[in-house]
Amino acid sequence: MKLTYRSLLATMLAVSATPAHAYFVSINGSIPGVELIRVAKNSSSLSNTNRGFAGAISPSGLIYSVGGVALPNSRSSEDTAALRFLSSGLADTSWASGGAAVNALENDTDRAKACLLQPDGKLVASGVASVTKGNKTQQFASIVRYNTDGTLDTSFAGDGAVEGSPNSFSSTSNSMGRLSDGSIVIGGYNVGSHQNWLLGKFSSSGSPIYWVIKSFALNSMINSMAIDSLNRIVVAGEAGVSDSDSTVTRYNLVSSPGNTDTDLTVARYSASGSPDPSFGGTGIVAINLGDYEHTGAVLVQSDGKVVVAGSSVMGQDTWTMARLNDDGSLDSGFGSGGIVVLSGSAGIIRSIAQQADGKIVATGDTFGQLGYARVNTDGSVDVPVQTTAVKDSAYPSGIQIQPDGKSVVFGYAIDQSAHLYYMMTARYNTDGTLDSSF
């Protein structure tokens, strides 16, 4: 039974997800180091639509990947999916049902777009659940929590999943984090008069605590999130910024400032959802490098410095990183004046992670191919951009570091002629080469 209640101007739906089936995980390893994954129900009728967006790695090296899968005869067009793999890359058939947990949260497109592992080993995923009634579709930000065996955790929101939106408009979660008290924070967007930043906080049991909507001059969305050592929420994403916006500290690193466009944008909030003015003076910092930067990823270093990554336009989108000090100022010890532009890349950095030695690994799309690079702690290039053709096009969107230092990339790939979408994982050795043992 679906329960509906209202709290803090938010409509929340405790979701009765469809029961689990026996699933079959098919892995195509024709490219050494890259896995292309399709899911089927009962070892038949492999799904033609399998998208991966994010992943997590346990301390023991188990690999989790989340996204969306379209299965025959499901009540939704795409279901929220979570898969677990052994460190070898094989499906962990002991988890969930055959290594996959696939749940239709609503009657239209459902997807998980971010995930994390709790200290107790439970997987939490966030994304979107879509409801279609007649000719109207509304999207809700969703959170799903799984027990350590892959079943839905019924101690969370009553049945393992919760959906919400701060108003009657559509909302989506693209990112998430976990605060020290166990509460869960999600970041994404809400579509009102135009698309706005959305931040939401939920208790460890799935109850809503607050929503924050931040509007900019142009369509905007949060794409990435990190929680720092002081329990502050750091987010980054697309933000259409103008010089007249007094809520944003804008660094104009162009010869002719004053334009209104999307900048490399990062913000820091307190655990209670208030902008942190100790970060750049306003809590939101935007870096204007020219026309239409894109922001895909953020991380917080152990020293409190913030690295934000995406792209800047150098004739075409080019992989770009910036590092900010704890006070939000640009870190002159990173790259050139705090900025690193990676040559040989045409696309956007979608995810970054920091190795134990402080080096930063990045993944994203470049010329429609799987991309990977690594920079040293000072921003100098350690491994230049590596590209790998995967089917007709590849869309990596997550990267995590294994306990042994290898990097695992998550995303999806498309075979256009066969009309197939594959969930994709790839593993890189510590020298930046693809790991052929995966």
Q: What is the pLDDT along the chain (438 residues), one digit of tens a residue?
A: 232 322 223 444 444 444 445 789 999 999 999 999 999 987 668 889 999 999 999 999 999 999 999 987 666 689 999 999 999 999 999 999 999 999 989 888 899 999 999 999 999 999 999 988 888 889 999 999 999 999 999 999 999 999 999 999 999 999 999 999 999 999 999 998 899 999 999 999 999 999 999 999 999 999 999 999 999 999 999 999 988 899 999 998 876 666 778 999 999 999 999 999 999 999 999 999 987 899 999 999 999 999 999 999 866 789 999 999 999 999 999 999 999 999 888 899 999 999 999 999 999 999 899 999 999 999 999 999 999 999 999 999 999 999 999 999 999 999 999 999 999 999 999 999 999 999
- Residue 200 maps to a domain: no
Which residues are bridge partners to 241 per DSSP? 261
- Residue count of the chain, please give it: 438
Amino acid (one-letter) located at 160:
G
Nearest CA-CA partner of 398 in 356, 361, 435: 361
Q: 209: alpha, beta or left, given left = phi > 0 and alpha = psi -120 to 50?
A: alpha
- Residue 147 maps to a domain: no
- Residue 431 maps to a domain: no
User: What tokens appear for 107 in the block?
Assistant: 């009657």
Q: How buried is residue 329: exposed, middle or buried, by Cβ count under 10 Å (0-12/13-18/19+)? A: middle
Separation between Cα atoms, residue 265 and residue 275, nearest integer Å: 14
- Residue 164 maps to a domain: no
Q: Helix (H, G, I), strand (E, B), or coil: what is residue 437?
A: coil
Overall domain count for the chain: 1
pLDDT of residue 10: 40
- Residue 418 maps to a domain: no
- Residue 300 maps to a domain: yes
User: What tokens appear for 40 in the block?
Assistant: 């089927």
pLDDT of residue 261: 83
Amino acid (one-letter) located at 5:
Y
Which residues are bridge partners to 188 per DSSP? 173, 198
Rounded to an integer, what is the distance from CA 385 to the centroid of its chain?
A: 21
Dihedrals phi, psi of 316, to nearest 5 degrees: -155, 165
Rounded to an integer, what is the distance from CA 306 to the centroid of its chain?
A: 17
Q: Helix (H, G, I), strand (E, B), or coil: what is residue 160?
A: coil
- Residue 35 maps to a domain: no
Residue carrying the six token digits 């971010």 = 114
Separation between Cα atoms, residue 246 and residue 249, nearest integer Å: 7
- Residue 406 maps to a domain: no
Domain boundaries, position 314:
221-341
pTM for this structure?
0.94
